Structure 1
Amino acid sequence: MTEYIVRFFIGGVVVSVFAMLGDILRPKSFAGLFGAAPSVALATLGIAICQHDPGYAALQSRTMVAGCIALATYSIVVCHLLMRGRVRALPATLLSFVVWLAVAFGLFSLGGGAA
């Protein structure tokens, strides 16, 4: 229970900092980019360092990077299918999901499969 409270407060503080950073930077679309994922990742890594050792936190950070790469690949594929391929939203999303799974599990297997 304490872990969730700590994660809530750390995440809230970091979300606020990233929201202020997004408000300062231009274009304003950066505000959403800085809003959620970095704060949750930092809170999770902070808790991992406190409860485990730095090696465990390093493993978690590598897993987060692999997830980021898979999500970026998914986003690029879905945008190309929607904008250039003129594919409807549902088929584009489903096809891109398959690509996301392939990239995520491919990176997971390359990284030794321990997360």
Structure 2
Amino acid sequence: MTEYLLRFIAGGLIVSAFAILGDMLRPKSFAGLLGAAPSVALATLSIAVVQHGPQYVAAESWTMIYGAIALGCYSIVVCHLLMRFHFSALPATILAFAAWLVVAFALLAGFGGAA
């Protein structure tokens, strides 16, 4: 129960800090970007370092980086499928998800991590 309370408080504080940072930046679309993933990742890693130690968190942070790289590839594939090949949204996202899986697991297999 205390872990959930800690996650709630840490997540709320970090989300608020990133929301303030995003509100100060231009364009305003950065506010949504900064309010979600970085704050949740920092809250998760801060709790994990207390529970499991820095070695575990180092491995987990690398898997987060691999996921972010795979998400970038996913976004590029979706854009190309939608704009260049005129796919509709559902087939484009399904095909791009397959690309995300390939990139994420290839990075994990190639460089290691906490699988």
Q: Secondary structure at the match of 2:114?
A: coil
Between stretches 21-30 and 75-84, larger displacement belongs to: 75-84
- Tell whether 2:68 aligns with 1:58: no
Aligned residue in 2 for 1:24: 24
Aligned residue in 2 for 1:39: 39
Aligned residue in 2 for 1:94: 94
Equivalents in 2 of 1:2, 1:62: separation in Å?
27
Does the 8 Å CA contact 2:60/2:113 hold for their aligned counterparts? no
- Provide Cα deviations, 1:46-80, integer angstroms capped at 9, x if missing partner: 01111111111100100100111111111111012
Aligned residue in 2 for 1:82: 82
* Root mean square deviation of aligned Cα: 1.1
Aligned residue in 1 for 2:8: 8
Equivalents in 1 of 2:21, 2:55: separation in Å?
30
How big is the shift at 1:110?
1.2
How big is the shift at 1:113?
5.4
Structure 1, gaps ≥5 residues long: none
Q: What amino acid is the match of 2:76?
A: I
Structure 2, gaps ≥5 residues long: none
Equivalents in 1 of 2:113, 2:14: separation in Å?
30
Q: Say how many residue pairs are matched.
A: 115
How big is the shift at 1:111?
2.5
Equivalents in 1 of 2:24, 2:114: separation in Å?
39
Q: TM-score if structure 1 supplies the norm length?
A: 0.94
Between stretches 8-17 and 77-86, larger displacement belongs to: 77-86
Equivalents in 2 of 1:30, 1:6: separation in Å?
27
Equivalents in 1 of 2:23, 2:112: separation in Å?
39
Q: TM-score if structure 2 supplies the norm length?
A: 0.94
- Tell whether 2:96 aligns with 1:73: no
